[in-house]
């Protein structure tokens, strides 16, 4: 296998793991559509042979639709809601909270919570504070870090910014992470 094919396979694998599958929603939609068409076909066949309908005759359903019967309007509202849900599932991002780390030999995907924990530990160690004094939130392309200093031990904002930026660069995550460190005004009482 060529290197180009390996790279293409790695990108495909990473994309599949970083995005949710839409197959469940597609399968549910297909089953519901098949059931609706099957029911309509059965009702039409029964009406064609002048037999009793399962639920309602097609002619009665048409007249109820034209007169605006409450049950028909409720069914139409339910179909509109299902349509909006299907549209949102198709359009909205289905990205999982993960980042890909650059590696020449394999595909490495890391959950955003794991990245946040690693950044928090690194900055806590650098700042000399307890791990619970550092909170990190990882977004698609950003690291937002909040550090609560220990009272009496001021922290230098620029040093924390540099440390977080260096750590984010060393991770070589895709999409790239921009770090933003905030030092809280209120501190924590030293133990």
CATH of the domain at 137: 3.30.70
In a domain, 123, yes or no: yes
For 37-63, write each residue's pLDDT tens digit: 999 999 999 999 999 988 888 888 888
| Residue 44 and residue 69 in one domain | yes
Q: What is the pLDDT of residue 124?
A: 94
| Residue 53 and residue 72 in one domain | yes
Q: What is the pLDDT of residue 24?
A: 83
Q: State phi, psi for 177 to the nearest 5 degrees.
A: -105, 130
Q: Kindly state the average pLDDT of the residues 16-31.
A: 81
Q: What token pair was written down for 36?
A: 């609706």
| Residue 72 and residue 102 in one domain | no
Among 62, 91, 120, give the residue marking a domain's end. 91
In a domain, 146, yes or no: yes
Q: What token pair was written down for 60?
A: 């009665």
Q: Kindly state the average pLDDT of the residues 165-188.
A: 89
Q: What is the pLDDT of residue 41?
A: 93
| Euclidean distance between CA atoms 169 and 107, whole angstroms | 18
Residue 6 has pLDDT above 60, yes or no: yes
Among 58, 91, 124, give the residue marking a domain's end. 91
Per the structure, the count of domains in the chain is 2
In a domain, 27, yes or no: yes
Of residues 28 and 125, more confidently modeled: 125
Of residues 187 and 40, more confidently modeled: 40
| Residue 177 and residue 103 in one domain | yes
| Residue 105 and residue 66 in one domain | no
| Residue 137 and residue 153 in one domain | yes
Contact predicate 102/174, CB 8 Å: yes
Q: State phi, psi for 17 to the nearest 5 degrees.
A: -80, -20
Residue 181 has pLDDT above 70, yes or no: yes
Q: What is the pLDDT of residue 99?
A: 86
For 62-113, write each residue's pLDDT tens digit: 888 788 788 888 888 998 998 898 888 878 877 788 888 877 778 788 899 9
Rg (CA), the chain: 28
Which residues, in sequence order, are CB contacts of 156 under 8 Å at separation 6+?
none
The residue segments making up the domain with residue 32 are: 20-91
Q: Strand order in 173-174's β-sheet?
A: 108-111, 98-101, 173-174
Average pLDDT across the chain, whole number: 86
In a domain, 1, yes or no: no
Among 66, 91, 116, give the residue marking a domain's end. 91
Of residues 183 and 91, more confidently modeled: 183
| Residue 165 and residue 111 in one domain | yes
Residue 4 has pLDDT above 70, yes or no: no
Q: What is the pLDDT of residue 87?
A: 85
For 130-170, write each residue's pLDDT tens digit: 989 999 999 988 999 999 998 888 899 999 999 999 999 99
In a domain, 81, yes or no: yes
End-to-end CA gap in the chain = 59
| Residue 102 and residue 81 in one domain | no
Q: What is the pLDDT of residue 127?
A: 92
In a domain, 10, yes or no: no
pLDDT band at residue 14 under the 50/70/90 scheme:
confident
| Residue 86 and residue 102 in one domain | no
């Amino acid at each position: 296998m060529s290197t180009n094919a390996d790279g293409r396979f790695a990108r495909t694998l990473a994309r599949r793991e970083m995005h949710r599958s839409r197959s469940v929603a597609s399968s549910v939609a297909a089953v519901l559509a098949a059931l609706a068409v099957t029911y309509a076909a059965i009702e039409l066949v029964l009406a064609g042979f002048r037999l009793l309908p399962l639920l309602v005759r097609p002619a009665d359903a048409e007249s109820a639709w034209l007169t605006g019967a409450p049950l028909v309007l409720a069914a139409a509202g339910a179909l509109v809601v299902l349509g909006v849900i299907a549209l949102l599932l198709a359009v909205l991002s289905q990205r999982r909270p993960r980042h890909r780390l650059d590696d020449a030999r394999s595909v490495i995907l890391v959950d955003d919570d794991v990245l946040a924990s690693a950044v928090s530990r690194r900055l806590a160690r650098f700042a000399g504070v307890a791990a619970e004094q550092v909170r990190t939130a990882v977004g698609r392309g950003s690291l937002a870090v909040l550090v609560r200093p220990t009272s009496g031990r001021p922290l230098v904002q620029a040093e924390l910014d540099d440390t977080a930026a260096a750590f984010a660069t060393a991770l070589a995550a895709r999409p790239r992470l921009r770090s933003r460190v905030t030092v809280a005004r209120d501190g924590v009482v030293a133990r």
